[in-house]
């Protein structure tokens, strides 16, 4: 079973972006980004995310900053959102008896409570992944809180080990061990303008058939992508605030796996 997401471009600056890139507005609107989420049972329970990017023109392909996947690049790296970045936000309820480390961090400033909808007060995590293998996972107790940069790291239930992702080779996935998930090969490119990456992160299954990550019940999931073409950045998500704000939970789909 998979949950599919069709990401669309934030269009506030589309005319300027098209002019900068030397393409039509229609070409930007025709960029296709599809993300699928699935529960992987073996070799360990994981949430798998696959990102597929298809560009409609070679002109765009020639300008896309899409680094080659390299095993040596697989490491925790901050500020990945400043370049081409595969992202995913996951929100939900804290599991009873658990407390996130982010709650102990004092933010230098917080958004005023009356400016945040009730929905925005729930804890959530942010996943950043570069096509070359670098990644980072962060935790927030409410909308952009703690307001520190880089954001507070996401830790496993032991409170000391940072959560990591595994880069997946689908053909060999069932025979891999958890440790070897950090090795990968680039999925075969069908055309010069077709790009794909897949990674997963560890989750736990609760008795009520629901899933959790790092002591948080998964209730919403929001895959999104930032593509950089030279110095021009484009933002993609299934729904957008105006101006674009990936952290705004009013636009996040319900988790349905």
Residue spans per domain, the chain: 2-251
Residue 184 has pLDDT above 60, yes or no: no
Q: Can you tell me the distance from the alpha carbon of 98 to that of 158, in angstroms, rounded to the nearest whole number?
A: 11
Stretch 211-232: mean pLDDT, rounded?
Answer: 94
pTM of the complete model: 0.83
pLDDT of residue 158: 81
Tens-digit pLDDT profile for residues 87-119: 999 999 887 655 444 444 333 334 343 333 445
- Radius of gyration of the chain from its Cα atoms, rounded to whole angstroms: 18
Residue 180 has pLDDT above 50, yes or no: no
pLDDT of residue 120: 58
pLDDT over 90 for what percent of the chain?
65
Q: Which residue in 128, 159, 117, 155 sits closest to 139, CA to CA?
A: 155
Q: Can you tell me the distance from the alpha carbon of 113 to that of 107, in angstroms, rounded to the nearest whole number?
A: 14
Stretch 230-256: mean pLDDT, rounded?
Answer: 95
């Amino acid at each position: 079973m998979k949950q599919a997401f069709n990401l669309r471009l934030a269009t506030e600056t589309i005319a300027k972006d098209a002019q900068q890139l030397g393409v039509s507005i229609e070409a930007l609107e025709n960029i296709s980004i599809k993300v699928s989420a699935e529960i992987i049972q073996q070799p360990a329970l994981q949430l798998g995310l696959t990102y597929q990017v298809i560009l409609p023109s070679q002109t765009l392909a020639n300008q896309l900053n899409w680094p080659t996947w390299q095993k040596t690049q697989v490491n925790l790296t901050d500020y990945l959102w400043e370049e081409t970045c595969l992202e995913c936000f996951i929100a939900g309820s804290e599991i009873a008896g658990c407390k996130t480390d982010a709650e102990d961090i004092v933010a230098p400033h917080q958004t005023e409570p009356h400016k945040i909808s009730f929905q925005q007060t729930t804890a959530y995590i942010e996943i950043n992944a570069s096509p070359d293998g670098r990644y980072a996972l962060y935790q927030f107790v409410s909308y952009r809180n703690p307001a520190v940069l880089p954001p507070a790291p996401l830790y496993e239930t032991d409170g000391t080990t940072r959560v990591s992702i595994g880069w997946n080779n689908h053909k060999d996935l069932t025979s891999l061990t958890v440790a070897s998930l950090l090795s990968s090969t680039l999925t075969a490119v069908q055309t010069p303008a077709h790009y794909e990456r897949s990674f997963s992160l560890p989750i736990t299954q609760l008795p009520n058939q629901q899933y959790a990550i790092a002591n948080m019940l998964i209730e919403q999931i929001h895959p999104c992508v930032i593509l950089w073409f030279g110095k021009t950045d484009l933002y993609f998500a299934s729904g957008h605030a105006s101006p674009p704000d990936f952290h705004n939970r009013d636009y996040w789909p319900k988790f349905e796996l």
